[in-house]
Structure 1
Amino acid sequence: MKHFLPILPALILAACGAESDQIDPVDPAEQATPREIHERILVIDSHLDTPANLSKADFDIVTDNPTQMGQVQVDLPKMQRGGLDGGFWVIFTPQGPLDEASYAAAKQAALTRSDEIIAMVEAHPDEFELAYTADDAERIVADGKRIVFQSIENSYPLGTDLTVLEDFYERGVRLVGPVHFRDNQFADSATDLSATDLGGLTPLGEELVREANRLGMMVDGSHAADSTVEDIMEISTTPIVLSHSGVKALYDHPRNISDDLLRRVAENGGVIQMNALGSYIENLEPPAERTAALEELAASFEGRSPFDLSDEEREQYMARRGEIDSAYPMPLSSFEVFMEQMLYALEIVGPEHVGMGADWDGGGGVAGMEDVSFLPKVTERLMEEGYTEADLEKIWGGNLLRIMRQVEAAKAQ
């Protein structure tokens, strides 16, 4: 439960007589440590890939699981140590073929992942609660529980039937991203550089944005091509969220956005949630052994993408990929590099348009911020840079809830 420092009542000062007129009362906030401030503000992360772990036999959400960089970084004890009140728990589905059978399989996979999130909450009702509104989030934290919003990363499972989106809305999905690594039926991806340019959103993608507006879902532009982000802002009646993105000025990666686009996102009322996936925030050279092993793996599957494999083949591919990751891990980025990204974004658009979406359990994490228990370091560093408690309230959750309230109001109208 968040604790708030008591404010000295004016009546006490008045009762102290004339001498009290010469005493400047001390603002409790000025005495608070960064950790105390971190504990008493609402702390939300917009992109928790933790649901991918819920079906694993060796993972328990209420146990302090051994941290694995980019894979196991969120559980209840770590959230408690890091002051993380919750966030958006991701329903992720890999991109596959654009045909009816594949759509049906992807939809079932997404529903199963949502079932797992809901089952986690039902199994631990004193620790977690499903959230559906911005007010829910604040109430849940006041009750001493962790917030569980749901989000969709990659709308591929919707197929071409947008009525399915309402089914996910009823389950608690409040943030939806059209696309992931590859172009799909809805939009251009930032990283699918070999495919035909769709020009941003497809006509079906435009309808997806309108349906999200109608239902009361925020729209996520992370993983989307710049043209897609621009189209979303043009069509959506509410501001855009970039749930886990970075700035291109510091590292020119397709997943990152330019200063100009970042300013337009802010002018539109949107927010960029800062990513902590190392290879997106600096140029990290893989070990030669890793490169050779990955080339051998690709050759063994005739150069096909994992997204084009059968379920059985993909399972074999991912098992071997896991072995390679363990034997020849990628070098890590650092906490300082991550903070450079966040501080740069803050300089460009201010604390009203920046937040945290570190891609926990989906590849995120840096040396010095290996899991969510290290989040108070971010607050400490931001305070060292001169950001106030009011700024931190916006950065850590206020901006997201502000947009959510705008979405809720737009739906009501």
Structure 2
Amino acid sequence: MITRLRPLLAGIACLALASVAVAKPAPSLHERVLTLDTHLDTPASLDLPGWSIMDAHEGDYTQVDLPRMKKGGLDGGFWAIYTAQGPLDPDSTRKARDFAFRRAAQIREMVAAHPDAFVLADKAADAAPIKATGKRVVYLSIENAWPLGDDPSLLEVFHTLGVRISGFAHFRTNQFADSATDKPKWDGLSPLGVQLLAEMNRLGVVPDLSHSSDAALADALRLSKTPVILSHSGCRAIYDHPRNVSDDQLRALAAQGGVIQINSVYLKKGEPNPEREAAMKALEAKYPEGTRLTGEQRAAMLAEWRAIDRLHPETGRATFELFMANVLHALKVAGVDHVGIGADWDGGGGVAGMEDVADLPKVTAALVAAGYSEADVGKIWSGNALRVLAAAEAEAAREAG
């Protein structure tokens, strides 16, 4: 009898082993939480010849694509319409407006071309259901409101296109606000900037004060009917730089209900490297920002960039540990309800040990090691930013009557 049962028992054992082999492992904490970055400069890559968001890219100095988003567990974020600051004359702002519309169209075309991978989000409540489908979340944002010219009401068109966060200025003072890195003209927000802030509140667009001056941040905290965001900023206690904010500003931001999204750029003073600086300056002059390159030109530019890296390698780069010190300091001062991540990917972000979005699980692991709970991590990775967006939506609904 036992002899006759052996084949049956062996078959049952094989089935049991097979079921164990195909069983999916439980998702990690990083996989469970909704992970959004509030400042992705990746839309600039959509202009690159032959470049696709669907392909894995190595050695081309980009930091975000779908394969790396999957590897790093990045569920999406706010994809920036970035326009480098130029003159304030009407002809220049019209050209900037047209560029910004084209960039918004490129982001939407990326989503439309890959409906199995990306979904355009409209409301704060949309993000979690999109994640549940395994697709990536796409909100739009504006970095630098210069393309609006002298017409804040133009923001309504961008809102219709999907913009849910908007900044005021960039590296230079413009018609809306003083820049943190330029000579002040308005002592904060300009009269036109105050109008733009009111339009943001009316539409449900979150005001973004990254790149704007201390005085502009103070004006926004005082005047905005909704919490504001710093979509990619840092802490002066870690590195005293105008693009970072003080502990007093962190406390004021938290008191107003706002959020600072920590970037990975302004973490330490760069070490002098004159040969590299001269070579990179020459490269940038040869291939100016915003130039649309052919495939051959881009290949040549990349070859020259790699040669610079070989001959004059970067020295004294900021590290992942310093990035996390920035995050943890903001959490200590502002509190867990007022801190998130906006690393400035494809816009200058990245540190030694966190080179692109494939490395993002390290952030979650470091937060857990520092004692933060899964609920805390969820707030940091998306909950806080989405709370601010939901508050903007509520104010817009209230004003609409």
- Indicate the TM-score class for this superposition, using the shorter chain for normalisation: 0.7 to 0.9
Equivalent residues in 2 for 1:137-156 (5 A)? Answer: 137-156=127-146
> In the alignment, what sits opposite 1:219?
207
Instruction: Quote how far apart the aligned CAs of 1:351 are.
Output: 1.2
1:86 aligned to 62, 72, 76, which one?
76
| 1:288 corresponds to 2:280 | no
> In the alignment, what sits opposite 2:95?
105
Superposition misfits of 4+ residues, deviation over 6 angstroms: 295-298, 319-322
The amino acid of 1:39's aligned partner reads E
What is the percentage of aligned positions where both structures have the same residue?
52
1:159 aligned to 149, 153, 158, which one?
149
1:75 aligned to 65, 77, 91, which one?
65
Q: Distance in 1 between matches of 2:382 and 2:137?
A: 12
| 1:54 corresponds to 2:46 | yes
Q: Secondary structure at the match of 2:251?
A: helix
> In the alignment, what sits opposite 2:218?
230
Q: Secondary structure at the match of 1:53?
A: helix
Q: Which has the larger radius of gyration?
A: 2
* Cα gap change, 1:324 to 1:287, in 2 (>3 Å): farther
Instruction: Quote how far apart the aligned CAs of 1:290 are.
Output: 2.1
> In the alignment, what sits opposite 1:267?
255
* Cα gap change, 1:326 to 1:120, in 2 (>3 Å): farther
Q: What per-residue deviation string (whole Å, max 9, x for no partner) do you get for residues 67-89 of structure 1?
A: 55xx4111111111111100000
Q: Distance in 1 between matches of 2:44 and 2:343?
A: 16
- Do the aligned residues in 1 keep the contact of 2:180 with 2:212 (CA within 8 Å)? yes
1:404 aligned to 374, 389, 394, which one?
389
Q: Distance in 1 between matches of 2:30 and 2:302?
A: 37
Unaligned runs of 5+ in 2: 1-24
Q: Distance in 1 between matches of 2:205 and 2:119?
A: 19
Query: How many equivalent residue pairs?
Result: 363
2:196 aligned to 176, 188, 208, which one?
208
- Do the aligned residues in 2 keep the contact of 1:239 with 1:269 (CA within 8 Å)? yes
| 1:248 corresponds to 2:233 | no
Equivalent residues in 2 for 1:370-385 (5 A)? Answer: 370-385=355-370
- Do the aligned residues in 2 keep the contact of 1:213 with 1:411 (CA within 8 Å)? yes
- Do the aligned residues in 2 keep the contact of 1:286 with 1:330 (CA within 8 Å)? no
> In the alignment, what sits opposite 1:41?
33
TM-score normalised to the size of structure 2? 0.86
> In the alignment, what sits opposite 2:352?
367
- Do the aligned residues in 2 keep the contact of 1:50 with 1:360 (CA within 8 Å)? yes
Q: Distance in 2 between matches of 1:72 and 1:326?
A: 17
Q: Distance in 1 between matches of 2:200 and 2:281?
A: 40
Q: Distance in 2 between matches of 1:326 and 1:406?
A: 49
The amino acid of 1:145's aligned partner reads K
- Do the aligned residues in 2 keep the contact of 1:67 with 1:371 (CA within 8 Å)? no
Q: Secondary structure at the match of 2:77?
A: strand
Q: Distance in 2 between matches of 1:322 and 1:101?
A: 36
CA RMSD of aligned residues (A): 2.3
Q: Distance in 1 between matches of 2:67 and 2:327?
A: 26
The amino acid of 2:372's aligned partner reads Y
Instruction: Quote how far apart the aligned CAs of 1:294 are.
Output: 5.8
The amino acid of 2:45's aligned partner reads N
* Cα gap change, 1:61 to 1:320, in 2 (>3 Å): closer
> In the alignment, what sits opposite 1:348?
333
